[in-house]
């Protein structure tokens, strides 16, 4: 019998196996990314020190980025392929569909995954490339404050630095999340990510062969708990900034 990796290019079993592996890797990244970003609550020095520590390891940082990109693309490709295989296996849909064991989360995995992909692109445009984030610029003559594109400001004046000459990621984060539309976008995206994980995390263990009935309830509870923690952790940052609980030291 062929191993799942050997079957991957031509079978649903292989696609599920690779989706599980890449999903596990992406879940680990989401947790690590969230823990790093929660430095926001520790203040400017903590968040800027964390960001600088990452930038001081460019080889490791870019290796991780490229590896993460490869994993993310593979997860999407095999997810779409599996969806197409399932449709091909049932070309004529039932007139009356009855869902007994399938949950809404399991039936919408492809669509929530594609929305999350769109959010990831938005997130990169926002904080990695600075083309969404905006920062206040005060006219010294009139005293009027205008919000301008953060990327353009960096092009004109260079990156904003804190008192220790580090890129001021803290200020950029505060400015970004003070925009209600941006904060709402992040919260909705995190809700969809949690919804996706609530099924995906438990199903990946089944795809990897960890599907003993004795463990099923524990995996289900663990999936729901993980989804809740990720939603609360990631949503707490934009909401805390939006409601003025964090960032009071930023003008």
Q: Is the model's pLDDT at 115 over the cut of 50?
A: yes
Q: Categorize the per-residue pLDDT at 97 as very low, low, confident or very high, splitting at 50, 70 and 90.
A: low
pTM strictly above 0.75:
yes
* Lowest-confidence pick of 6-20, 105-119, 201-215: 6-20
Please list the alpha-helical segments (H only) found in 56-211.
Answer: 58-89, 104-107, 109-123, 150-157, 169-177, 180-207
Query: Which of 8, 28, 25, 31 lies closest to 77 in space, CA to CA?
Result: 8
Residue position matching structure tokens 């609980």: 245
Instruction: Residue 168: count other Cβ atoms within 10 Å of its Cβ.
Output: 22
Q: What is the mean pLDDT of the chain?
A: 80
Domains (range + CATH), the chain? 4-242 (1.20.1300)
Distance CA 245, CA 106 (A): 36
Distance CA 34, CA 39 (A): 9
| pLDDT tens readout for residues 7-41 | 545 567 777 888 888 999 999 999 999 999 999 99
| pLDDT tens readout for residues 224-235 | 999 999 999 999
Q: For 132-144, what is the mean pLDDT?
A: 54
Distance CA 63, CA 5 (A): 24
| 3 secondary structure, DSSP code | -
| pLDDT tens readout for residues 173-207 | 888 898 899 899 999 999 999 999 998 888 888 77
Instruction: Residue 108: count other Cβ atoms within 10 Å of its Cβ.
Output: 15
């Amino acid at each position: 019998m062929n191993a799942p990796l050997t079957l991957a290019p031509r079978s649903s079993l292989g696609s599920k196996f690779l989706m599980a592996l890449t999903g596990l890797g992406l879940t680990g990244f989401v947790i690590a990314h969230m823990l790093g970003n929660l430095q926001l609550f520790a203040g400017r020095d903590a968040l800027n020190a964390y960001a600088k520590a990452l930038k001081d390891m460019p080889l490791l940082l870019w290796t991780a980025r490229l590896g993460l990109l490869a994993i993310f693309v593979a997860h999407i490709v095999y997810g779409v392929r599996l969806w197409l295989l399932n449709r091909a296996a049932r070309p004529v849909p039932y007139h009356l569909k009855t869902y007994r064991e399938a949950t809404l989360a399991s039936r919408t995995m492809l669509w929530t995954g594609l929305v999350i992909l769109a959010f990831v692109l938005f997130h990169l445009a926002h904080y990695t490339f600075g083309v969404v984030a905006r920062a206040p610029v005060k006219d010294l003559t009139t005293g009027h404050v205008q919000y301008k594109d953060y990327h353009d400001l960096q092009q004109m004046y260079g990156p904003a630095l804190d008192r220790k000459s580090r890129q001021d990621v803290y200020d950029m984060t505060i400015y970004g999340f003070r925009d209600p539309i941006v904060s709402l976008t992040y919260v909705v995206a995190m809700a969809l990510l949690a919804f996706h994980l609530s099924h995906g995390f438990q199903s990946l263990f089944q795809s990897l062969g960890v599907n003993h009935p004795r463990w099923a309830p524990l995996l289900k509870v663990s999936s729901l708990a993980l989804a809740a923690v990720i939603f609360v952790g990631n949503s707490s940052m934009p909401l805390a900034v939006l409601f003025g609980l964090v960032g009071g030291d930023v003008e």
